[in-house]
Chains A and B, each alone.
Chain A
Amino acid sequence: MKRRRISTLLTLLVSAVCLTACGGGEQSGQEKVTLSVMGRKSDMEKSYMTTLFRHYETTTGNQLNIITIEDAEFETEAAKRFEAGNVPDVFMHFHNADLSRFHVEDNFCYLNDESWVGDLADSARAYCEDRDGNLLGLPFWESSVSGCYYNKTLLDSLGLKPAATQAEFDMLCRALAEIGYTPVCWPADGCTWMFQFGLDPIFADDPDLLGKLNRNEITYSEIPEVTDMVQWVKNAADNGWFGDDYLKTGWSDISSALGSGEAVMTFIWDTWFYTDFDPESRYTVDDFAVMPVFMNTADGGTYEGGNLNMMMVNKNGAHTEEALEFLRFCAAPENYNVAFDGISTVSCFKGQTTNIQSKMVTDARASIDEKERVSTAATRIVGYSADDVAAAFDSLLRGKTDAAGCVKLMDQYRIEEAEAQGADGF
């Protein structure tokens, strides 16, 4: 691994020297421009981003005006600037429902015909498409695979196997619970992502249904699978599959629960093991493996693709062409491999070779390829708010309402949010 990284760097340096020596290469005859690139401050300061920006400026001679906005103010401040007509040449944003406030259709180019589209990983491309299949941006981000990560060592020691179906998952939970383990670490206190894993298959597998939902022609309550998922969560909690204190379990508790072996499984993403999991735990990352998430909405389970940041091009700006050229630069294997060299991430590009992929993912690659779905609920459902859904589930799990009531709450919050956004049909 280390040897490959050094060789890559040498290649980059040689290339850089050559380009410099050639006096700018292909663009030597062109006028140098300065492109404005706006994004969230922490996003823009990621090492692979700064490497990329630096590499671009060095390679092309163009300048990048990196406009960063504090994370907490990003959404509102960026929207304000858009409203004021200060749209950057390149705008960097995650693809989710909140993108609507930036009037994507009016401000940005569709990138369906770009040459680099074929190099995109399927899941990455799907992530960056709008509801009509138009590619809105270039995914350029560290990514991960969300699934059911389990303690394979522990499971083996118990003579148990990972589940391949929803029924087997339920069996597994029951078998673990009856011998005193917490089958699933369910951080209900402040963690909000689990629910979208269950919702993804419903809407990813049925775009028409998603369309109806987003046009307010149907509600969650009218979709049986949603209620099935909610009821499964409730049953799992009642059966003790989430342990006794799941309502008090939060983000910071996941590591100890999994690392100690108290809990056997959790719904999370692979990079979490490199960022938040305590390497000093009794069980290490090497003890874990991944299987699909089972939440009673897909019999074979599901994986969720990474939530990606993508770069969009201002189609009304003065440097639209230069900006598209900037994206082409980024999508070139020789460039993104420079940027992602040594970065632990799932590949966005098929030609991505310098990044580091976890063994858990690579071992389950066949299963992931078969069952991975793009993050649909959080990114495609108009009015979806992970916090709102979590609030509805909180009422359910605290016994304040039943499954039907929980679904109604989810609808209520979603519709309220959609109305607040002024979404069509609401």
Chain B
Amino acid sequence: MLKGLGILMRKWFKRWLPAFLLGLVGAAVVLIGVFYFELISRRIYEDSTGHLEEIYGQVNRSFGAFIDRNWGILNGWGDSFSLTSDEANAEVAELIREEQDYWGFSDFYFLSADGGCVTLDGTESSLVLEGAWDSLMTEREPVMTGEKLPAGQDVIVFAVPVQRGFYKGFAFDAIAVSYTNADMARSLNVEAFSGKARCFVIHGDGTVLLSTQTGGNVFGNYLVYLKAASDLSEARLSRLQEDWERGASGILQCRIGGDVNCVLYQPVGYRDYILLSAVPQSVISAGFLAVQKTTMNVLLVIFLLVGIAAAALLIWRGRAQSRRSRMELQYRELMFDVLSNSVDDIFIMLNGENHSVDYISPNIERLLGIPVSEAKADIRVMEKCAVNYDVVIPRGELAAIPIGGNRYWECEYMHQTTGERRWYRMTVYHTSIQNVVKYVIVLSDRTQEQQMNQKLQEALTAARSANEAKSNFLSNMSHDIRTPMNAIVGFSVLLEKDADQADKVREYTRKIMASSHHLLSLINDVLDMSKIESGKTSLNVDRFSLPELLEELSIILMPQAKAKKQSFEIHVQGTPPEQLIGDKLRLNQILINLLSNAVKYTPEGGAIEFTVCELSQAQSQSQAVQQYVKLRFTVKDNGIGMSEEFQKHVFAPFSREISSVTNKIQGTGLGMAITKNLVDLMGGIIQLESEPGRGSTFTVELSFALPEQEDERSWLTRQVTRVLVADDEEEICRDIEELMRDTGVEISSVTTGDAAVEAAVSAHARGEDFHVILLDWKMPGVDGVEAARRIRSQVGTDVPILVLTSYDWSDIETEARQAGINAFMPKPFFVSTFWQTIEPLFTDITVRDEEHASAEAVHGVMEGRLFLVAEDNELNAEILTEMLDIEGAKCELAVNGQEAVEMFERSEPGYYDMILMDVQMPVMNGYEATRRIRSGSHPEAKTIPIAAMTANTFAEDVRDAMASGMDGHLAKPIDMDAVRSLVGRLLNRTKDTSEREG
């Protein structure tokens, strides 16, 4: 307690000591000043009264001299007067008159002892000489007295006794002169203190005899005046009167009106006359005060100058200090700015009272996208980029932090412009400098650490997931590989056992082949996925026909759907372009995967719809001639659907939904992953909507470039100008009309079979038969086949009739042809398909026969051929040898590329019909061997057909094979149908070339 009090006292003392000392010095200065002024004032008073006494002592002496002089003059004149001669006296009087101006008196008088009085001009006058008459006439003494003339004028009279004389008959005993007050003042010429002093000659009772002031006198009794006008007490006034009555001298100070006056009195030395002066103290001391004032002014100026100099010095030093401080601050800020710009930590200083921003590091703009000015204006702007925080800086909690302490929060921010997430640890330090509270906030960047943690977490999750997936994969693969392998091994054992039973051999062989095909597809998928994931997959972009693609899909999928009694419909919405530029193979793979899955996961009797929709066409910015089209492929089924959980990772590799249904369905779990990757590779998107038990809908959107229009079809040359279309769906009719608009062909549409028959018959009757009639197969009422039959019965066989169907028409083909239908055309309707379908109908039948013969020839193309086979694997070589043998062909084996090259070089021209080249072989691979052959000197080096026969089955492998000079590609395991087809094609080409060259 005492210690705390002591600290408090010391603090208080330290804080207030300068003010206390300053006050002490100020008080001392004031006291010294007061003392000094008191001393000076007293000294001035003493000096000034002394000065006053000196001045009026001189005045008094002058006045006495004035009296004596007047009496002296009068005595002189008195002596001049003759006792008897009136005339002589007249001359004297004339002399006096002449000197009147010089002496300054007003009048001259002759006085007689009996009271008579005449002036110089002989005029009778009157002088009373109150109180002095006896002295003059009886005691024969000179006198001076005041006199009030009959006109009321106050004058001073000087008179001296003379010997009796006569003047103008008047007997006089004394002579006198009178002075008005003004005359006296002029004669005395007492003008002390610049006329601001009053000076009187008074009687002892205070009656004013005269005033030395020029201009006159208005004071009658100065004692009375002092009584009325001064602050003198009665006692002092009484003492003053006593002084005057006894002819004492003295000096006193009193206030008259507003001014302090010094009243000085001295006896004149004649009768009770007293010389009295009253002078304002300010006037007396004016000189001293002026000196004092000057001294004070000088001192003041010195103090001021010293003060100004000190102030200037202080200001200069303060400014210099301030400038240095400012510069240091600026340097510090600059350094801090540079420093903060080079780091990702943000520094803020807040005012403790109002939370205004004192400082904020400029890197906030770089790190959070907040302009410094905005943050400085209001720190709350940071709340805009807060993630999951309502208040970024918890200002309400700042005050709770003890001074000198700190607290931290973990924060996440999002960059205002880039959206980049950043993580910070916000540490708030509560400080107090000179009782000013500040909060220093340091936002330490934890982004890298956070991101690393996230990546580690993701990597861990990914690793776990991958591990899990691979475990699943291995498990699946183990199961999926072992299952067909088990069949293959098992049936191989049975085959060996029952080798002598032909039926069982065929059965076991068929099952072994089925299992082998499944195993092969499994291996293909795995390899395909591996290739995609390794990033080595590239697109083989080329022109392709959309109708052809759809037809192929229909051909592939229709049988599968049919096998499960599912409906399979292909729809085309809008008028998508028929020719596209893209990777047909990969598109095919995507769509087959989706459609196969739809068939696979849709129960028997289900429905599968495949829709192609044109979303938009766009002109390329770079090539005016090239356009793009965006197509949406939708595969919809009403199958088993997928759970919501599974939908989340349906595109993940090795993912298969486990259920009682799916367990019975074979699959690698890679199909959808491959599909997704291929869509991504093609720059498209794939979406899924599914509901368990209700089916799934996959939507794929892809963009394709459009080739230049090369419509070489000439409908008019084929004389096809009128076509009748019958379809119960009006939309299809409109689509066909739209698609055929630019061909110049007139389309007549009807929606029933009866209407079609009527239209055809009617046209025939007019002699304007339709050039082609296109009938939907399945129409309510009269279907397409029946309608064709009726048309044929009335119109004849000249008009080609086609059936448009989305169904497999193989079952009705025979009936349809008997009804008179010339051809079938798959839905959806494409102009190119239509042309391709009807074009043969207008071509010579011989051409078709040749083509048919050529197709048949392929079947015997292998017979008698000799192949040079390069195969390092003995087993594969043996299998191939046996298979060729079955086909009636022979082969010679080379164990590597080098040997194959040498054997070919050694052979006679025409010895080998074709070379089947493995790719991966020791010594020399197939590509190199092919290049050597092609560059060799053998006459058939350039023409001998060379086909790759390899397990490298990717598109890139095919491309590499062609690039090395090969003519074809056969994938292992060898499919003899593919071999036959390729051999037929290549050998026929060679034959044509030979014929042309021959």
Contacts and interface: CB of A to CB of B under 8 A. Distances in A.
Contacts of B226: 159
A160 interface: yes
A394 to B, nearest CB: 30
A1 interface: no
B216 A367 contact: no
Interface string B217-260: 11111111111110000000000000000000000000011110
Given A159-B222, A178-B257, A164 B227 contact: no
A338 to B, nearest CB: 35
B6 interface: no
Contacts of A179: 228-229, 256-257
Contacts of A172: 218
A115 interface: no
A156 interface: yes
Interface in A140-185: 156-165, 167-168, 170-172, 175, 178-180
Nearest to A370: B151
B257 A158 contact: no
A264 to B, nearest CB: 12
A160 B219 contact: yes
Given A163-B216, A164-B216, A165-B216, A158 B228 contact: yes
Contact of A178 (B152, B219, B256): B256
B152 A168 contact: no
Given A168-B216, A367-B152, A178 B258 contact: yes
A109 B177 CA distance: 54
A168 B153 CA distance: 12
A85 to B, nearest CB: 54
Contacts of B228: 157-159, 179
Contacts of B259: 178
Nearest to A166: B215
A376 B228 CA distance: 40
Nearest to A162: B218
B218 A163 contact: yes
B206 interface: yes
Nearest to B213: A171
B215 A167 contact: yes
Main SS class of interface, A: helix
Interface in B143-188: 150-154, 182
Contacts of A370: 151
B256 A366 contact: no
Contact of A161 (B151, B217, B257): B217
A159 B206 contact: yes
A367 B214 CA distance: 22
Nearest to A173: B218
Contact of B219 (A159, A167, A170): A159
Contact of B152 (A165, A170, A366): A366
A161 B146 CA distance: 15
Given A178-B258, A179-B228, A161 B219 contact: yes
Contact of B218 (A156, A171, A178, A367): A171
Interface residues of A, number: 22
A160 B216 contact: no
Contacts of B154: 161, 164
A196 B963 CA distance: 141
Nearest to A172: B218
Interface in A337-368: 366-367
Nearest to A364: B152
Nearest to B153: A164
A161 B218 contact: yes
A161 B208 CA distance: 10
Contacts of B222: 159
A367 B153 CA distance: 10
Contacts of B214: 167
B195 to A, nearest CB: 11
A180 B256 CA distance: 10
Contacts of A165: 182, 215-216
Nearest to B207: A159
A296 to B, nearest CB: 13
Contact of A171 (B215, B220, B221, B223): B215
B164 to A, nearest CB: 33
Contacts of A168: 215-218
A286 to B, nearest CB: 19
Contacts of A156: 220, 224
A178 B228 CA distance: 12
Of B223, B227, B228, B256, the most chain A CB neighbours within 10 A belong to B228
B216 A159 contact: no
Given A168-B215, A171-B213, A159 B257 contact: no
B151 A160 contact: no
A132 B357 CA distance: 100
A179 B256 CA distance: 7
A81 B256 CA distance: 64
A186 to B, nearest CB: 19
Given A158-B225, A160-B225, A164-B153, A175 B220 contact: no
A138 B208 CA distance: 48
A159 B227 contact: yes
Contacts of B216: 163-165, 167-168, 171
Interface string B925-952: 0000000000000000000000000000
Contact of A366 (B151, B215, B218): B151
Interface in A174-203: 175, 178-180
Nearest to B206: A159
A366 B150 CA distance: 9
Contact of B220 (A159, A167, A367): A159
Contact of B224 (A158, A162, A170, A171): A158
Contacts of B229: 158, 178-179
Contacts of B221: 159
Nearest to B150: A366
Given A178-B259, A366-B151, A366-B152, A159 B223 contact: yes
A113 B259 CA distance: 63
Nearest to A174: B218
B148 to A, nearest CB: 10
Contacts of A164: 152-154, 216
Interface string A361-384: 000001100100000000000000
A171 B200 CA distance: 14
A377 to B, nearest CB: 27
Contacts of A171: 213, 215-218
A175 B216 CA distance: 13
A164 B151 CA distance: 11
A132 B197 CA distance: 50
Contacts of B224: 156-159
Contact of A175 (B152, B219, B223): B219
Given A159-B228, A367-B152, A180 B257 contact: yes
B151 A175 contact: no
B403 to A, nearest CB: 66
Contacts of B225: 158-160, 175
A160 B228 CA distance: 10
A156 B258 CA distance: 21
B513 to A, nearest CB: 136
A161 B256 contact: no
Contacts of A175: 218-219, 225
18 contacts: A156-B224, A158-B228, A159-B219, A159-B220, A159-B224, A159-B226, A160-B218, A161-B219, A162-B218, A164-B216, A167-B182, A167-B215, A171-B218, A175-B218, A179-B257, A366-B150, A366-B152, A367-B152
Nearest 8 Cβ contacts at the A-B interface: A167-B215, A159-B224, A159-B225, A178-B257, A168-B216, A179-B229, A159-B221, A172-B218
Given A161-B220, A178-B258, 20 more contacts: A157-B228, A158-B224, A159-B206, A159-B223, A159-B226, A161-B217, A162-B218, A163-B216, A163-B218, A164-B153, A165-B216, A167-B215, A167-B216, A168-B215, A171-B215, A172-B218, A175-B219, A175-B225, A179-B229, A366-B151
Interface of A: 156-165, 167-168, 170-172, 175, 178-180, 366-367, 370
